[in-house]
């Protein structure tokens, strides 16, 4: 089998491949043009990359023998995972391999900003002896705001506490118990922005976090604040950062990642002496590169030789026979997790997954991982996969319980997901109809419903009064929103009902506002599955 290694993956990883007698190993030196690269993949069985080489749909089409793509790193932005899944190609990454290296770079940036080390260094190189221009600030006693308390954020917090800093942590998914264990003060984003002397971000780039720190947030910060981004370019708005530095509001900033990479030569960021910049070096340590190189080599070797799947982002770690058995539950579990996540508050303490009837006979771990994947996607963004979800849940202080129940609801098999928080409990359950195992959601917060777990769901609690169904139907029609199916569940005649609609499109805000104005309607939610 032919293994193609790109992007300077560590020699220890390459050596692991070469130690296998079944493998022919080719190491590409430097980057090739797309057409030349397409020619080189015609007979490969696996490709290993870091971040430079793009494994696109076109590359996969040019590689008919390709079975696996290994990413020596965490993110898989340079791999078309959807295309790989369609073609049955396993995509593997190395979760956690660069945690320490990125945390250490972040804290190095904080220290460089505090003592103006890069600027003083350049002054000395220029032959100067200018002590007055480089007064710094001590870290001890200062407040460090950490946005995102995952693996890296937690390691940064440990280092900050060792330096005598007070740590304010913003993470809407971090439990209070986990915050206490990390010895950090849990705070909302506005409080972190207003109270911190230094702010560092460690969150995935999602629609929710893009531009999370922009002009409006910078205006509310302390005068002379310092900002650090070693996570993902785009979380801090670069245009607004430049303006903040020029105005003096931001005393300095340190960036390892950028909205556009490589950073354009004419970027205004380059002209600011208050800005410390590195070219995406978060994982660029000898130890991190050796770790991820060996880890990805071991995963691909085990898959190609033994058929075992490890650290895959697009399929569970199962053998082929078991995968066919649990596949329907994986899909239903992910949808239930996604549904409960959008109905529950962001901060939860416990997630209970119940396997009932025949479902109690399937392997629980892979299904639980897919439930967690759906539940935690809003917390972890694109970096969340079934490989790392248990670790992510642990980092957030989310206790996960799996329960096997042989008896319960009136179904031969069912899956139930419940999230518990200080605000109470939110739950949903599902089962399958017919010999073809059509998935259905049959419980929401203990109420019996029946809806298809896909597309857009519209949910509301309403008074059980005549004309309510016609009112909602007419309202949807006026706003050109088509109803695919409807489910109604009431507690008693004239009491409270739960209405669930499958919609063909997301209802516009004008429709939502009109529904909310009705005094007989409450808890209006739109869920995207």
Closest CA to 186 of 198, 160, 173, 168: 168
| pLDDT tens series, the chain, 529 aa | 999 999 889 899 999 999 999 999 999 988 788 889 999 999 999 999 988 899 999 999 999 999 999 999 877 888 998 888 777 788 999 877 788 999 999 999 999 999 999 999 999 999 999 999 999 999 999 999 999 998 899 999 999 999 999 999 999 888 888 899 999 999 999 999 999 999 999 998 888 899 999 999 999 999 999 999 999 999 999 999 999 999 999 999 999 999 999 999 999 999 999 999 999 999 889 899 898 999 999 999 988 988 777 788 876 666 556 767 788 898 999 999 999 999 999 889 999 999 998 888 888 888 998 999 999 987 766 667 766 688 788 888 999 999 988 766 678 889 999 999 988 999 999 999 876 679 999 999 999 999 999 999 999 999 988 888 899 999 999 999 999 999 988 888 888 889 999 999 999 999 999 999 988 999 999 999 9
Closest CA to 241 of 206, 205, 217, 209: 217
Q: Residue 389: what pLDDT?
A: 80
Contact 185, 212 (CB under 8 A): no
Contact 364, 381 (CB under 8 A): no
Contact 359, 329 (CB under 8 A): yes
Cα separation, 212 vs 178, whole angstroms = 24
Cα separation, 93 vs 82, whole angstroms = 15
Please name the helix (run of DSSP H) or strand (run of DSSP E) that holds residue 476, with its range, or none: helix 468-478
Cα separation, 440 vs 522, whole angstroms = 24
Closest CA to 98 of 82, 118, 75, 64: 75
Please name the helix (run of DSSP H) or strand (run of DSSP E) that holds residue 118, with its range, or none: helix 117-125
Measured CA distances, 203 to 27, 143, 149 (Å): 33, 19, 8
Question: Hey, which residues does 351 pair with through a beta bridge?
Answer: 400, 419
Strand ranges, E, within 230-290:
250-255, 275-277
Vertex 204, ends 371 and 80: CA angle to 5°?
75
Question: Hey, which residues does 404 pair with through a beta bridge?
Answer: 355
Contact 340, 375 (CB under 8 A): yes
99 contacts: CB under 8 Å, gap ≥ 6: 151, 152, 155
Report the residue count for the chain.
Answer: 529
The domains of the chain, with CATH numbers, are 2-94+286-306 (3.40.50.720), 99-277 (3.40.50.720), 316-453 (3.30.1330.90), 455-529 (3.30.70.260)
What is the phi/psi pair of residue 485, to 5°? -160, 160
Q: Residue 365: what pLDDT?
A: 85
Q: Residue 482: what pLDDT?
A: 94
Cα separation, 287 vs 381, whole angstroms = 27
Cα separation, 97 vs 104, whole angstroms = 13
Cα separation, 183 vs 204, whole angstroms = 23
Closest CA to 527 of 464, 431, 444: 444
Please name the helix (run of DSSP H) or strand (run of DSSP E) that holds residue 199, with its range, or none: strand 198-201
Closest CA to 148 of 225, 202, 112: 202
> Among all residues, which ones are annotated catalytic?
232, 261, 280
Which DSSP symbol is given to 55?
B
Measured CA distances, 79 to 49, 53, 92 (Å): 9, 9, 10
The SS3 call for residue 116 is coil
Cα separation, 332 vs 415, whole angstroms = 8
């Amino acid at each position: 089998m032919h293994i193609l290694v790109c992007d300077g993956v560590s020699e220890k990883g390459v050596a692991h491949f070469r130690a296998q007698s079944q493998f022919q190993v080719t190491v590409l030196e430097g980057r090739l043009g797309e057409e030349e690269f397409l020619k080189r993949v015609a007979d490969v069985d696996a490709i290993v990359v870091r971040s430079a080489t793009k494994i696109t749909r076109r590359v996969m089409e040019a590689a008919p023998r390709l079975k696996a793509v290994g990413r020596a790193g965490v993110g898989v932005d340079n791999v078309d995972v959807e295309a790989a899944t369609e073609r049955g190609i396993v995509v593997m990454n190395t979760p956690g391999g660069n945690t320490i290296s990125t945390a250490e770079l972040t804290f190095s940036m904080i220290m460089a900003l505090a003592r103006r080390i890069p600027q003083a260094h350049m002054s000395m190189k220029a032959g100067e002896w200018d002590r007055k221009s480089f007064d710094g600030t001590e870290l001890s006693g200062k407040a460090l705001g950490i946005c995102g308390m995952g693996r890296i954020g937690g390691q940064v917090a440990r280092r900050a506490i060792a330096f005598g800093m007070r740590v304010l942590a913003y993470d809407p998914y971090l439990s209070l118990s986990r915050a206490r264990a990390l010895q950090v003060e849990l705070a909302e984003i506005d409080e972190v922005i207003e109270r911190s002397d230094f702010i560092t971000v460690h969150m995935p780039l999602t629609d929710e976090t893009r531009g999370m720190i922009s002009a409006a947030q910078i205006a509310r910060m302390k005068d002379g604040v310092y900002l650090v981004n070693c996570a993902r370019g785009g979380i801090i708005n670069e245009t607004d950062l430049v303006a903040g530095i020029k105005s003096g509001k931001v005393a300095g900033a340190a960036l390892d990642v950028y909205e556009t990479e490589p950073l354009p030569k004419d970027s205004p960021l380059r002209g600011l002496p208050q800005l410390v910049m590195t070219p995406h070096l978060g994982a660029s340590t000898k130890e991190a590169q050796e770790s991820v190189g060996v880890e990805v080599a071991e995963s691909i070797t085990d898959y190609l030789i033994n058929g075992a799947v490890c650290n895959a982002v697009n399929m569970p770690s199962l053998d082929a026979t078991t995968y066919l058995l649990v596949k329907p539950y994986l899909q239903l579990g992910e949808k239930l997790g996604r549904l409960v996540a959008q109905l529950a508050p962001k901060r939860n303490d416990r997630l209970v997954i119940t396997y009932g009837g025949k479902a109690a006979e399937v392997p629980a771990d892979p299904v639980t991982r897919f439930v967690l994947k759906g539940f935690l996607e809003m917390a972890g963004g694109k970096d969340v996969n079934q490989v790392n979800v248990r670790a992510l849940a642990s980092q957030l202080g989310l206790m996960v319980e799996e329960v096997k129940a042989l008896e319960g609801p009136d179904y031969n098999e069912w899956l139930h997901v419940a999230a518990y928080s200080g605000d109470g409990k939110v739950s949903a359950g599902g089962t399958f109809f017919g010999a073809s195992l059509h998935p259905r959601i049959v419980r929401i917060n203990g109420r019996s419903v029946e809806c298809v777990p896909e597309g857009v769901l519209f949910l509301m609690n309403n008074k059980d009064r005549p004309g309510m169904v016609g009112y909602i139907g007419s309202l949807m029609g006026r706003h050109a929103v088509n109803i695919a199916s409807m489910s109604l569940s009431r507690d008693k005649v004239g009491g409270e009902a739960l209405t669930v609609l499958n919609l063909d499109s997301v209802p516009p805000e004008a429709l939502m506002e009109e529904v909310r104005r009705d005094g007989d309607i409450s808890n209006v939610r739109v869920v995207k599955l």
